[in-house]
Amino acid sequence: MFKIGEFSQLARISPRMLRHYEKCGLLYPAEIDKFTGYRQYSAGQIPLAQNIVMLRDLGFSIDEIGDILPKLDDFVYMNRVLRTKADSIQSVIEKEQIKLERLIQRNDTMRRSVIFWYMRLS
């Protein structure tokens, strides 16, 4: 068994996030000392912690992770979930690309306007 600090180093998750995941129902300590309240985790919980981090890194919300975790071994379900997330991210990228193009265009317009007025004043 590992104290929360030791487990956080092994799992590469801060103690604060471990407490947050516990509060959200994603990752409970294997034991909580009745007298001290210290949380203890087992080595067997490291893969679960790593899956939570992996899903967070892919952009899934805490609620989505809670739905996904029990079905990680279901290939059909995971394929659908990952494809849906990829499509969502692609949509965001396309919208952001349009914003970027508009910003660049606006900046060019402003720059040309400043040059035009500068030349007229010279």
pLDDT tens by residue, 32-63: 988 998 999 999 999 999 999 999 999 999 99
pLDDT in tens, 4-29: 999 999 999 999 999 999 999 999 99
Rg (CA), the chain: 24
Reported pTM? 0.76
Between the alpha carbon of residue 119 and those of residues 44, 63, 110, 116, 122, the distances in Å are 71, 58, 14, 5, 5
Taking residue 18's Cβ as centre, other Cβ atoms within 10 Å add up to 24
Looking at the structure, give the CATH architecture of the domain made up of residues 1-71.
Answer: Orthogonal Bundle (1.10)
Q: CA–CA separation, 52 vs 66, rounded Å?
A: 9
Question: What DSSP character marks residue 30?
Answer: S
Residue ranges covered by each domain of the chain: 1-71, 73-122
**pLDDT band of 119, cuts 50, 70, 90:** low
Q: Which residues contact 113 (CB under 8 A, 6 or more apart)?
A: none
Give, to the nearest 10 degrees, the angle between helix 15-23 and helix 4-11.
Answer: 100
Mean pLDDT of 68-81: 96
